Structure 1
Amino acid sequence: MSILDHVYTATFVMLSLAALFTVLRLVRGPTVLDRIVCLNAVSVLVVSFIAVEAAVRADTAYFGLLVTIALLGFVGTLTAARFAERRAHDRG
Protein backbone atom coordinates (compact mmCIF):
# COMPACT_ATOMS: atom_id res chain seq x y z
CA MET A 1 0.00 0.00 0.00
CA SER A 2 1.47 3.31 -1.05
CA ILE A 3 1.26 6.61 0.79
CA LEU A 4 -1.28 7.80 -1.77
CA ASP A 5 -3.65 4.98 -0.77
CA HIS A 6 -3.47 6.18 2.83
CA VAL A 7 -4.21 9.73 1.70
CA TYR A 8 -7.27 8.58 -0.27
CA THR A 9 -8.51 6.58 2.71
CA ALA A 10 -8.04 9.53 5.08
CA THR A 11 -9.82 11.81 2.60
CA PHE A 12 -12.80 9.47 2.36
CA VAL A 13 -12.99 9.22 6.16
CA MET A 14 -12.92 13.00 6.58
CA LEU A 15 -15.51 13.53 3.85
CA SER A 16 -17.72 10.88 5.46
CA LEU A 17 -17.50 12.60 8.84
CA ALA A 18 -18.28 15.94 7.23
CA ALA A 19 -21.30 14.42 5.48
CA LEU A 20 -22.52 12.88 8.74
CA PHE A 21 -22.28 16.16 10.65
CA THR A 22 -23.89 18.06 7.78
CA VAL A 23 -26.83 15.67 7.58
CA LEU A 24 -27.27 15.88 11.36
CA ARG A 25 -27.37 19.67 11.07
CA LEU A 26 -29.79 19.36 8.16
CA VAL A 27 -32.17 17.35 10.31
CA ARG A 28 -31.80 19.54 13.40
CA GLY A 29 -31.56 22.92 11.66
CA PRO A 30 -33.92 25.34 13.39
CA THR A 31 -34.54 27.55 10.35
CA VAL A 32 -35.10 27.10 6.65
CA LEU A 33 -31.93 29.02 5.86
CA ASP A 34 -29.89 26.57 7.95
CA ARG A 35 -31.31 23.72 5.91
CA ILE A 36 -30.56 25.54 2.64
CA VAL A 37 -26.93 25.98 3.66
CA CYS A 38 -26.72 22.32 4.67
CA LEU A 39 -28.13 21.18 1.33
CA ASN A 40 -25.51 23.27 -0.43
CA ALA A 41 -22.81 21.70 1.75
CA VAL A 42 -24.14 18.22 0.94
CA SER A 43 -23.93 18.95 -2.80
CA VAL A 44 -20.34 20.16 -2.35
CA LEU A 45 -19.51 16.99 -0.42
CA VAL A 46 -21.04 14.81 -3.14
CA VAL A 47 -18.92 16.58 -5.75
CA SER A 48 -15.87 16.08 -3.52
CA PHE A 49 -16.59 12.35 -3.13
CA ILE A 50 -16.89 11.94 -6.89
CA ALA A 51 -13.72 13.97 -7.52
CA VAL A 52 -11.69 11.85 -5.12
CA GLU A 53 -13.11 8.67 -6.64
CA ALA A 54 -12.16 9.95 -10.10
CA ALA A 55 -8.64 10.61 -8.82
CA VAL A 56 -8.43 7.12 -7.31
CA ARG A 57 -9.50 5.52 -10.58
CA ALA A 58 -7.51 8.00 -12.71
CA ASP A 59 -10.59 8.35 -14.91
CA THR A 60 -11.70 11.60 -16.53
CA ALA A 61 -15.17 10.32 -17.44
CA TYR A 62 -16.60 11.71 -14.19
CA PHE A 63 -15.94 15.37 -14.96
CA GLY A 64 -19.22 15.88 -16.81
CA LEU A 65 -21.04 14.46 -13.82
CA LEU A 66 -19.07 16.70 -11.47
CA VAL A 67 -19.98 19.84 -13.38
CA THR A 68 -23.63 18.82 -13.63
CA ILE A 69 -24.00 18.13 -9.91
CA ALA A 70 -22.16 21.32 -9.00
CA LEU A 71 -24.39 23.42 -11.25
CA LEU A 72 -27.56 21.75 -9.97
CA GLY A 73 -26.47 22.35 -6.38
CA PHE A 74 -25.69 26.00 -7.12
CA VAL A 75 -28.96 26.66 -8.94
CA GLY A 76 -30.92 24.80 -6.28
CA THR A 77 -29.34 26.87 -3.53
CA LEU A 78 -30.07 30.11 -5.38
CA THR A 79 -33.67 29.09 -5.97
CA ALA A 80 -34.24 28.10 -2.36
CA ALA A 81 -32.61 31.28 -1.08
CA ARG A 82 -34.75 33.43 -3.37
CA PHE A 83 -37.87 31.58 -2.19
CA ALA A 84 -36.89 32.07 1.47
CA GLU A 85 -36.21 35.77 0.85
CA ARG A 86 -39.60 36.31 -0.79
CA ARG A 87 -41.31 34.40 1.99
CA ALA A 88 -39.61 36.55 4.65
CA HIS A 89 -40.48 39.70 2.71
CA ASP A 90 -44.17 38.68 2.47
CA ARG A 91 -44.34 38.08 6.21
CA GLY A 92 -43.22 41.61 6.88
Structure 2
Amino acid sequence: MLSIVIDVVYFMLSLALLFAFIRLTRGPTLPDRVVALELIASVIVGYVGVHAIDTGVSSFLDVAIVIALTGFLAAIGFGRFVQRGGVRND
Protein backbone atom coordinates (compact mmCIF):
# COMPACT_ATOMS: atom_id res chain seq x y z
CA MET A 1 0.00 0.00 0.00
CA LEU A 2 2.80 2.41 0.86
CA SER A 3 4.53 1.77 -2.46
CA ILE A 4 1.36 2.75 -4.34
CA VAL A 5 1.14 6.02 -2.42
CA ILE A 6 4.80 6.77 -3.05
CA ASP A 7 4.36 6.05 -6.77
CA VAL A 8 1.38 8.42 -6.90
CA VAL A 9 3.37 11.12 -5.10
CA TYR A 10 6.28 10.69 -7.53
CA PHE A 11 3.83 11.03 -10.43
CA MET A 12 2.26 14.18 -8.98
CA LEU A 13 5.67 15.73 -8.32
CA SER A 14 6.72 14.90 -11.88
CA LEU A 15 3.59 16.58 -13.19
CA ALA A 16 4.29 19.66 -11.08
CA LEU A 17 7.86 19.72 -12.35
CA LEU A 18 6.62 19.54 -15.94
CA PHE A 19 4.20 22.44 -15.45
CA ALA A 20 6.88 24.51 -13.71
CA PHE A 21 9.28 23.85 -16.58
CA ILE A 22 6.64 24.96 -19.07
CA ARG A 23 6.17 28.19 -17.09
CA LEU A 24 9.95 28.61 -16.99
CA THR A 25 10.26 28.40 -20.76
CA ARG A 26 7.11 30.34 -21.69
CA GLY A 27 6.96 32.84 -18.83
CA PRO A 28 6.20 36.24 -20.28
CA THR A 29 8.17 38.16 -17.65
CA LEU A 30 11.29 37.66 -15.59
CA PRO A 31 9.40 37.36 -12.27
CA ASP A 32 7.29 34.54 -13.75
CA ARG A 33 10.44 32.67 -14.63
CA VAL A 34 11.97 33.23 -11.21
CA VAL A 35 8.83 31.96 -9.48
CA ALA A 36 8.98 28.89 -11.73
CA LEU A 37 12.60 28.30 -10.68
CA GLU A 38 11.60 28.58 -7.03
CA LEU A 39 8.80 26.09 -7.64
CA ILE A 40 11.23 23.71 -9.30
CA ALA A 41 13.50 23.94 -6.26
CA SER A 42 10.54 23.20 -3.98
CA VAL A 43 9.50 20.21 -6.08
CA ILE A 44 13.04 18.86 -5.96
CA VAL A 45 12.95 19.20 -2.17
CA GLY A 46 9.75 17.17 -2.28
CA TYR A 47 11.41 14.52 -4.44
CA VAL A 48 14.31 14.22 -2.02
CA GLY A 49 11.94 14.05 0.95
CA VAL A 50 9.83 11.31 -0.61
CA HIS A 51 12.97 9.44 -1.57
CA ALA A 52 14.17 9.67 2.04
CA ILE A 53 10.86 8.20 3.19
CA ASP A 54 10.96 5.53 0.50
CA THR A 55 14.51 4.36 1.23
CA GLY A 56 14.57 5.05 4.96
CA VAL A 57 17.85 6.98 4.68
CA SER A 58 17.47 10.08 6.81
CA SER A 59 20.63 11.76 5.52
CA PHE A 60 18.69 12.71 2.37
CA LEU A 61 16.79 15.18 4.53
CA ASP A 62 20.02 17.14 4.98
CA VAL A 63 20.24 17.42 1.21
CA ALA A 64 16.64 18.65 1.09
CA ILE A 65 17.40 21.32 3.69
CA VAL A 66 20.40 22.56 1.71
CA ILE A 67 18.35 22.76 -1.50
CA ALA A 68 15.56 24.61 0.30
CA LEU A 69 17.99 27.13 1.82
CA THR A 70 19.64 27.69 -1.56
CA GLY A 71 16.26 28.36 -3.16
CA PHE A 72 15.36 30.75 -0.35
CA LEU A 73 18.60 32.70 -0.76
CA ALA A 74 18.02 32.92 -4.51
CA ALA A 75 14.53 34.33 -3.87
CA ILE A 76 15.94 36.92 -1.49
CA GLY A 77 18.58 37.89 -4.04
CA PHE A 78 15.99 38.31 -6.77
CA GLY A 79 13.81 40.38 -4.47
CA ARG A 80 16.68 42.77 -3.80
CA PHE A 81 17.39 42.92 -7.53
CA VAL A 82 13.78 43.91 -8.28
CA GLN A 83 13.71 46.38 -5.37
CA ARG A 84 16.75 48.22 -6.71
CA GLY A 85 15.13 48.52 -10.13
CA GLY A 86 17.09 46.00 -12.13
CA VAL A 87 20.56 46.33 -13.59
CA ARG A 88 22.28 49.61 -12.73
CA ASN A 89 25.53 51.07 -13.96
CA ASP A 90 26.85 52.63 -10.74
Tell me whether the two structures share a fold, i.e. TM-score over 0.5. yes
Q: Count the aligned residue pairs.
A: 87
Letter in 2 for 1:31: T
Gaps of 5+ in 1: none
Where in structure 1 do 4 or more consecutive aligned residues deviate above 3 Å? none
Normalised by the length of structure 1, the TM-score is: 0.89
1:24 to partner: Cα distance: 0.3
Equivalent position SS for 2:59 = coil
Q: How does 1:45-84 map to 2 (within 5 A)?
A: 45-84=43-82
Letter in 1 for 2:73: V
Contact 1:26 1:39 in 2 (8 A): yes
Normalised by the length of structure 2, the TM-score is: 0.91
1:78 to partner: Cα distance: 1.1
Tell me the alpha carbon deviations over residues 52-83 of structure 1, each in whole angstroms, 9 at most, x when there is no partner. 00000011111211111100000001101221
Structure having the larger proportion of residues in helix? 1
| Cα distance in 1 between the residues matched to 2:3 and 2:82 | 43
Contact 1:36 1:81 in 2 (8 A): no
Aligned to 1:87: 85
RMSD over aligned CA atoms reads: 1.2
| Cα distance in 1 between the residues matched to 2:27 and 2:82 | 15
| Cα distance in 2 between the residues matched to 1:85 and 1:33 | 12
Aligned to 1:15: 13
Aligned to 2:30: 32
User: Percent same amino acid at aligned positions?
Assistant: 34
